[in-house]
Amino acid sequence: MHTALQTNFLGIDLASPLVLPAGIMGLSYSGLAVAARKGAGMVTTKSFTLQPRTGHKGPVVAEWSGGILNSMGLCNPGIEEGLKEVHAFREGATTPVIISIFGTSREEFVKLARRTNRSDGNFLELNLSCPNVADEFGTPLSASQEKVSSIIYHVKKISRLPVIAKLSPNVYHIREIVSAAEAAGADAISLINTLGPGMLIDRKMGKPILHNRFGGVSGPCIKPIALKLIYETYSAVSLPIIGMGGVLTGEDAIEMIMAGATLIGIGTGIYYRGIDIFNLVNEEILRLLSDEGYDGIARIQRLEKLRE
Ligand code: RRO
């Protein structure tokens, strides 16, 4: 990988600022491996729960002109099996890994975090923002400053891994939430999780397309919301940000960095451009850097934050 793409995240050197976000291909060792081979600088697992979950009944994914709707329903093999996949991945790759976990309470998050202390992960992501399991568990935890603060504080007390808080776009008070996360000891912020949930209708069948009726919205249509929330987060806290939401191209990635992101997640973009999107966007970033006369991505991260 080109040296101009090298970046540092919480003390760890990455070959590229592009990250495979939670949930996309991180269910298995092979999904993580292919993303790393195809140019992701870091990879994230699916969010693991204490017990395995089969997820929702299909269809769980639907496409529309603005993006994608998903209602996977937190399908995952459970923390024990999940960490075995991470171990298998790390045997064959040096690419750093974020282990994502999902709990329904502070106690569950702490239990999961303790388990990841004995793992091959580099970072721990707390998924506080899944939009698809509100029927089971209620409103996502990241809607509440108090819950965000309490979970992060208690996880940080016991976690060996640096902690990243994955947050929802479905709030009017992102500045207060990220400030609470920072005060509680979070090491980084990751946003945005999918928007909504939303709904699509099959006119011919006269029913919702997703079996679960509702699903999180992702893809190009959410990019402006992501940029705004990353920008607000950047101006509220001094934590590094993994920014994501609708990134398909090198231009999109540079915009995320200018809004305040240190790293950029590409998830739904894989649906549009295939897994080669990581290498393609890396190449596009290099071309844009060279056109603008920058010698590396770090120059934009440090100097080109958006002006008022
Ligand atoms: O599995 C899912 O339905 C899911 C999760 Br955990 C999440 O965090 N975000 C999302 O869009 N889908």
Q: What is the DSSP string of 47-111?
A: PB-SS-B--PPSP-EEEETTEEEE---S-B--HHHHHHHHHHHHHH--S-EEEEE--SSHHHHHH
Phi, psi of 243, rounded to the nearest 5 degrees: -95, 135
What residue numbers bound the domain in which 68 lies?
Answer: 3-299
Q: Is residue 197 part of a domain?
A: yes
Candidate of 44, 112, 130 to mutate for ligand 1, largest count of ligand atoms within 8 Å of Cβ: 130
Q: Is residue 35 part of a domain?
A: yes
Buried-exposed string 3-18: b where 16+ CB fall within 10 A, e elsewhere: ebbbbebeeeebbbbb
Q: Is residue 306 part of a domain?
A: no
pLDDT value of position 305? 59
Residue nearest ligand 1's atom 1 by CA = 74
Q: Are 232 and 206 in contact, with CB atoms under 8 Å apart?
A: no
Q: Are 158 and 114 in contact, with CB atoms under 8 Å apart?
A: yes
Distance 102 CA to ligand 1 centre (A): 10
Candidate of 44, 47, 54, 126 to mutate for ligand 1, largest count of ligand atoms within 8 Å of Cβ: 47
Q: Residue 138's domain is classified under what CATH number?
A: 3.20.20.70
Atom of ligand 1 lying closest to residue 194 CA: 11
Atom of ligand 1 lying closest to residue 129 CA: 8
Q: Give the residue from 123, 121, 128 showing the smallest Cα distance to 187.
A: 123
pTM above 0.85, yes or no: yes
From the candidates 15, 27, 130, 192, give the one annotated as an active-site residue. 130
Q: Is residue 305 part of a domain?
A: no
DSSP summary character for residue 16: -
Distance 167 CA to ligand 1 centre (A): 12
* Length of the chain counted residue by residue: 308
Q: Within 6 Å (CB) of ligand 1, which residues are found?
A: 23, 47, 70-74, 102, 127, 130-132, 193-194, 216
Distance 186 CA to ligand 1 centre (A): 21
pLDDT value of position 294? 84
Q: Is residue 75 part of a domain?
A: yes
pLDDT value of position 308? 57
Looking at the DSSP bridge assignments, the partners of residue 123 are 98
Distance 183 CA to ligand 1 centre (A): 26
Per-residue pLDDT of the chain (308 residues; tens, 9 = 90+): 799 999 999 999 999 999 999 988 988 999 999 999 999 999 999 999 999 999 999 999 999 999 999 999 999 999 999 999 999 999 999 999 999 999 999 999 999 999 999 999 999 999 999 999 988 888 899 999 999 999 999 999 999 999 999 999 999 999 999 999 999 999 999 999 999 999 999 999 999 999 999 999 999 999 999 999 999 999 999 999 999 999 999 999 999 999 999 999 999 999 999 999 999 999 999 999 999 888 888 777 755 556 65
Buried-exposed string 280-302: b where 16+ CB fall within 10 A, e elsewhere: bbbebbbebbeeeebebbbebbe
Q: Write the DSSP string, 113-164.
A: HHHHTTSS-SEEEEE---TT-HHHH-S-GGG-HHHHHHHHHHHHHH-SS-EE
Total domain count, the chain = 1
Secondary structure element (H or E) that encloses residue 12, with its range: strand 12-14
Q: Is residue 308 part of a domain?
A: no
Q: Is residue 304 part of a domain?
A: no
Encoded amino acid at 249, one letter? T
Distance 129 CA to ligand 1 centre (A): 8
Q: Angle CA(149)–CA(153)–CA(154) in degrees, nearest 5?
A: 120
Q: Is residue 60 part of a domain?
A: yes
Atom of ligand 1 lying closest to residue 75 CA: 1
pLDDT value of position 306? 66
Distance 150 CA to ligand 1 centre (A): 22
Atom of ligand 1 lying closest to residue 130 CA: 8
Residue nearest ligand 1's atom 8 by CA = 130
221 classed as catalytic: no
Candidate of 46, 56, 70 to mutate for ligand 1, largest count of ligand atoms within 8 Å of Cβ: 70
Q: Are 267 and 25 in contact, with CB atoms under 8 Å apart?
A: no
